[in-house]
Structure formats: structure tokens, C-alpha cells
Amino acid sequence: MGFIEAMERIREEFPNDNVKHGQFFEKMCKSYLLNDPLYENRFSDVWLWNEFPDRKEADTGVDIVAKEHSGALWAIQCNFYDENTTLIKKTLTHFSPHQADMIFPNG
């Protein structure tokens, strides 16, 4: 099953349940980062936020933490939008302030 098909299936199985949409999308993104050739060689570990061993806070807006082989950490936010949603700059840039609270040199 491809990425688009997986997103469609999430919508079909959990109509109008944004929490479930987000949870499954985060797991799908984690799997992608672990298995896609572009990223599987870059990252040594990928955690959902609630799995991250060094988390200090309950929720900072970070959904996934990925660790490069060099040890550098990436804070990743996953959002499952409706396929007809138009993203605007404000939506894409609101995540940055959360990163200041933690050491994520690569965003």
C-alpha cells in the first residue's frame, strides 16, 4: 500500500476522528523515516514523542524525534490535513518556537 492509499484508508476507517487521524499519521511518518532509502541511512533512531527516552515535557508540539548517526536530533511535527487544505506560511512556521526549548540543531 502506498502513502496516498494509506492516508485514504485512515480517513475511511476513522471518519471525523481527527485524533485517530493524527495518531495513525504519526506512526506512518515514523515508518516512512525508518524505511525510505533517503532517510533510513540518515537516521539511527526514530521515536514517536511519547517513546523518546530524553523527553522532559509531556507535549511540546514535537511528534517525532529522529537521531542522525552523528547524534544530532531532529524535531519533527506531523499534521494530517484534509486533502483540500491549502497551507499558508503561518501554519508552517508556528512550530519553530517550540524548538527553542530543546536541543534540536536540525529542526
Residue ranges per domain, the chain? Answer: 3-99
- The Cα angle at residue 94 between residues 88 and 97, in degrees rounded to 5: 160
- How do residues 34-44 score in pLDDT, each as one tens digit? 999 999 899 99
**Residue 17 contacts by C-beta under 8 Å, 6 or more apart in sequence?**
none
pTM of this structure: 0.77
pLDDT (0 to 100) of residue 13: 87
Instruction: Walk along the chain (107 residues) and give the pLDDT tens digit of each residue.
Output: 787 888 888 888 888 888 888 898 999 999 999 999 999 899 999 999 999 998 877 667 789 999 999 999 998 988 887 778 887 777 766 665 454 455 565 55
C-alpha 99/C-alpha 61 separation (Å) is: 9
**Residue 77 contacts by C-beta under 8 Å, 6 or more apart in sequence?**
61, 62, 63, 64, 95
C-alpha 85/C-alpha 81 separation (Å) is: 6
CA end-to-end span of the chain = 29
77, β-bridge pairs: none
